Amino acid sequence: MDEKRTNNSNNDYSAENIQVLEGLEAVRKRPAMFIGDLSVKGLHHLVHEVVDNSIDEALVGYCKNIEIIINKDGSITIKDDGRGIPTDYHEKEKKSALEVVMTVLHAGGKFDKESYKVSGGLHGVGVSCVNALSSYLRAEVHRDGKIHVQEYQYGKPTSEVKITGETNRTGTEITFEPDNSIFSTTDFNYEILAARLRELAFLNKGINLSIIDERESAENGNGENDTNFRNDHFYSKKGLKEFVEFLDATREKLIENTIYIDTIKNEVPVEIALQYNTSFSENVHSYVNNISTIEGGTHLAGFRRGLTRTLKSYAEKSGMTAKLKFDISGDDFREGLTAIISIKVQEPQFEGQTKTKLGNSEVIGAVDQAVSTYLSSFLEENPRDAKIIVQKIILAATARHAARKARELVQRKTVLSGSGLPGKLADCADTDPANCEIYLVEGDSAGGTAKQGRDRQFQAILPLRGKILNVEKAMEHKILENEEIKNMFMALGVSIGTEEDSKALNMEGLRYHKIIIMTDADVDGSHITTLIMTFFFRYMQDLIKNGNLYIATPPLYLIKKGKTQQYCWSEVERVKVVKEFGQGKESSVNIQRYKGLGEMNAEQLWETTMNPEKRTLRQVTIESAAEADRIFSMLMGDEVPPRREFIEKHAKYANIDA
């Protein structure tokens, strides 16, 4: 793939390649239309958009190094060593091409097929969208031996493009501060950015990507900050093959070698890596032009079709399925499968609610052919691995058959019991799902307090007994037979499994649009939250994608001094309040640490955690499906060292509860 990228002889990238489609004003008026979200997700999409421009330079062979710097003042810088944005005069717009790119929506070289064969980014919105939503932006271009600089405020230039010096390199450097009057937060999350860079390194082998956070540095022995900033460097030599191995690091492999496909079919570059493991879940992640297509699309359909047909044909020819008394479904061929599908197309067409579903019809056949051709050869040349895969498929089919019986039993019990609601559920009076919310509460004690404290009109309570089943380690029929999980399905009004897809979620009967996990603010509570989130991620992922799942945030402390009291949700907040209350003397001050919801009375629970006017709910989102898959597998799997390392790094209660 590297050779194909670097053999691009068209280095004539100048102002005449920049084509203008429309103006910029709408971005600041309706920002959510352009980036979809004005909280954490939208904020980080700004960075992704700038980085994707650098990646596009890499795809045509002109960029090898990309760096993100989170600056000490909270702004962010993205550097690359590409050709640099053109700075010469743009005849149509009567200004520098750099200013055109930075200030006009849908202006850029990506619309000129000779400049970029493929491109990613936010579906063509461009870096001008980033500029429009920034209170300050500085563009520095190293090109033609000169350093060109222009600065902007709220998308408008504050000066002409200036030459500030000479240079012996090429590239673009963008520094920006997101507009805090538009975004609910402007605090960049290191993990989100690092995960995206790691993903891009796997998707684009041979490119160096690095990140450094100058807000965080280690303390040296003198109690002063040194320059040992938090940083990571990502580079992949084998691309998707290493990506799959990274995702499956905490799973037990079924076959030794990862199956890898890198080819061009019908002028569509197709790169696929896949591996079977002993788990019971399917983990297939698809990308087009480096964009994660979490809703799938034609490339995923082509992959599934090619995989199913090829494996089914081999299994039948081998005679291994002759004694089966029921059909093998498409799901059975993908149980325990981890796969990455990455394709590049000139003009991707996106469908679906979140514009992350590929619609190009020509892609189905291309991916189908690539999988069929290579997989057929692999199975013939590796009979031992082929036998292991087919045995896994037969086991999956047998388990699915048992799971269907368990599912039918749950549905039959629901019909026979009349209302079909679990006995522990305290339902709400309102019957409009859009107005209703349900709390999944840890234990009967806390459940009782929540029932007393809630607003019965729109808040329902479902107590869960202890820690629910770890779905990462259980077969589907065991999961569906679990009492607490059955109660969740029944209370929510959703069902799993259709004729076409045995794992599809039917949400037509969804009874609550807000599903809120409410557990104790301690280590056990966090474990229960993780178990519930793992269940939703593996079996009710559509509810996460639709924004239905939330986590409640009960306070950690109640600080009292005389008749004055204040709740605190963090250790930092506790220290601050204690200092304010007691002038640094913790002994004129009473500190109560809440470890369990049951330690609060009904009024306190309502006031701090359930009252919509005062509470803080954290919405569960999937920024990167592949990263979420890896983390859930690592947290809920059998490998202890990676889990310990992760918990030590992200521990919330370790110091408080020691």
Between CA 373 and CA 390 the distance in angstroms is 18
Residue 52: active-site member: no
Between CA 590 and CA 232 the distance in angstroms is 43
CA dihedral 260, 261, 262, 265 (to 10 degrees): -170
CB within 8 Å of 482: residues ≥ 6 apart: 468, 469, 474
Query: How large is the greatest C-alpha to C-alpha distance in the chain, in angstroms?
Result: 81
- Beta strand 337-343 with 268-276 is antiparallel
Instruction: Provide the residue count of the chain.
Output: 658
**Helix (H) or strand (E) run with residue 313 in it:** helix 298-318
- Tell me the two tokens of residue 245: 């191995």
Residue type for position 236: S
Is residue 488 classed exposed, middle or buried when 0-12, 13-18 and 19+ CB atoms within 10 A define those classes? buried
Q: Which of 99, 437, 442, 481 is catalytic?
A: 442
Between CA 203 and CA 243 the distance in angstroms is 8
Cβ(560)–Cβ(547) below 8 Å: no
Q: Write b or e for each residue in 325-348: b if 16 or more Cβ atoms lie within 10 A of its Cβ, otherwise e.
A: eeebbebbbbbbbbbbbbbbbeeb
Between CA 240 and CA 360 the distance in angstroms is 22
Residue 501: active-site member: no
Three-class DSSP category at 143: strand
Q: Which of 67, 80, 520, 599 is catalytic?
A: 520
Residue type for position 58: A
Q: Which of 484, 522, 599, 627 is catalytic?
A: 522
DSSP 8-state symbol, 158: S
- Tell me the two tokens of residue 468: 């629910």
The CA distances from residue 408 to 281, 480, 502, 504, 600, in Å, are: 21, 10, 12, 15, 41
The residue behind tokens 């493929």 is 118
Residue 524: active-site member: yes
Residue type for position 260: Y
Residue 522: active-site member: yes
Q: Which of 37, 216, 524, 607 is catalytic?
A: 524
Residues tagged active-site:
442, 520, 522, 524
